[in-house]
Amino acid sequence: MNQITSHKLLQIEKLELHFKTRGGTVQAVDGVNFTLDSNRAVVILGESGCGKSSLAKAMLRLLPRNVDKYDGRVFLQGADVMEFDDEEFRKNVRWLGISLVPQAAMNSLNPVIRVGEQVAEPAIVHLGLGKAEAMNLVQKMFQHVGVPQDFVSRYPFELSGGMRQRVALAMALVTSPSLIVLDEPTSALDLLTQANIMNVLKRIKHELGTSFILITHDIATSSELADEVAIMYAGQIVETGHARDFFPAPLHPYSQMLMASVPRLRSESDPMFITGQPPSLINPPKGCRFAARCPFHFEKCNDEPPVFERNGRSVKCWLHA
């Protein structure tokens, strides 16, 4: 198994994360598979409540207390990290292998510690660097993300939202992980700041060869970074493919309707909306989970569709059988 996966940076197989709640079991991540090569960026697109943030948590094993089921396999550079115990995982995977830039990262900085020290901390803890070395590294990271060098001794409140977002990014980079998971990195930012952050991410990808998993609902902005796209719906990935194949012609009916709902500045097309609501993840419908909202549904959709693969694309829909 390891031999097959060794050339992939990340391979996820049948990842499941279910939560216990009073109403029943929430199947937030339900059998997710995907792979990622090094120096590539995959965008996981989905609407709120589809389980995309839970997927990020599942990959990094940042689990809340009410976990009902956590299962599947995650290979990072060939190693099956699901076999690791919590301490091994903390030491070897988090920060060193995969860093996370959490949602609203710019508000996740400690308000009473200087930003330079905060960025240095993962380097001190995980790389075992001395403080002076770590601060040198911080200076270098600040350069990569475009934060002026003298900002190291500032406090978070002295920085604008865009600058704080860059600082959070620098923190994720400081341990030179091969993969960074970004959860909605630009959704709280202004238009020009968003464009700036996307520029920074592109530059990091070129200069440092980092891979990205970008989790977002902002389809237009996500295309700025995407090499590959995965569409998530009701806890499952329903379509994957190269960005240049996906954006012009999505395959799954949900992807098609989602793309048609995006208002465009440079086209005259009238955006459409998807009627109905995603199903509850507590008792998701049997068969295809999108069937109730799908204009093309037919008898077969009562059975759960398998994933059909063709030309490097995959789609979980009976129409493509």
Partner 1 sequence: MIIDLREVMMSIEKINEAQPLLSVQDLRVWYELRRFGFGHAGYVKAVDGVSFELAEGETVAVVGESGCGKSSLMKTILGLNMPTSGGIVFDGENLSELKGGGLQKYRFKIGYVQQDPYGALPPFMSVQTILEEPLIISGLQGREERLARIHKVMTEVKLHPVEDFLPKFPHMLSGGQQQRIVIARAMLREPKLIVADEPVSMLDASVRVEILKLMRALQESHGLSVIYITHDLSTVKYFSQRIFVMYAGNLIEKADTRRLLENPLHPYTHALLAATSDPDARNADSFKEVPPSEPPSLVNPPQGCRFHPRCARAIAGLCDQKEPVDFEPEPHHFVACWLYQPQ
Strands 41-45 and 79-80: unpaired
Q: Compute the least distance from the CB of residue 264 to partner 1, in Å.
A: 5
Bridge partners of 233, per DSSP, are 236
Distance between CA atoms of residues 201 and 96, nearest Å: 19
Nearer to partner 1, 112 or 265 (CB): 265
Q: Compute the least distance from the CB of residue 205 to partner 1, in Å.
A: 9
Binding site for partner 1 (CB under 8 A): 41, 47-48, 160, 162, 190-196, 198-199, 202-203, 217-227, 242-244, 246-248, 257-259, 261-267, 270-274, 277
Q: What 3-state DSSP class applies to 243?
A: helix
Q: Compute the least distance from the CB of residue 40 to partner 1, in Å.
A: 11
Nearer to partner 1, 34 or 254 (CB): 254
Nearer to partner 1, 3 or 22 (CB): 22
- Taking alpha carbons only, the member of 229, 154, 161, 172 closest to residue 196 is 161
Sequential DSSP letters for 85-125 = -HHHHHHHTBTTTEEEE-TTGGG-S-TTS-HHHHHHHHHHH
User: Residue 255: left if φ>0, alpha if ψ -120 to 50, beta else—which one?
Assistant: alpha
Write out the two tokens for 25.
């079991």
Q: Compute the least distance from the CB of residue 115 to partner 1, in Å.
A: 17
Nearer to partner 1, 81 or 281 (CB): 281
Q: Compute the least distance from the CB of residue 321 to partner 1, in Å.
A: 26
Nearer to partner 1, 6 or 149 (CB): 149
In order of 180, 209, 313, the CA distances from 172 in angstroms are: 7, 14, 30
Q: Compute the least distance from the CB of residue 217 to partner 1, in Å.
A: 6
Nearer to partner 1, 1 or 220 (CB): 220
Q: Which residues contact 108 (CB under 8 A, 6 or more apart)?
A: 102, 168
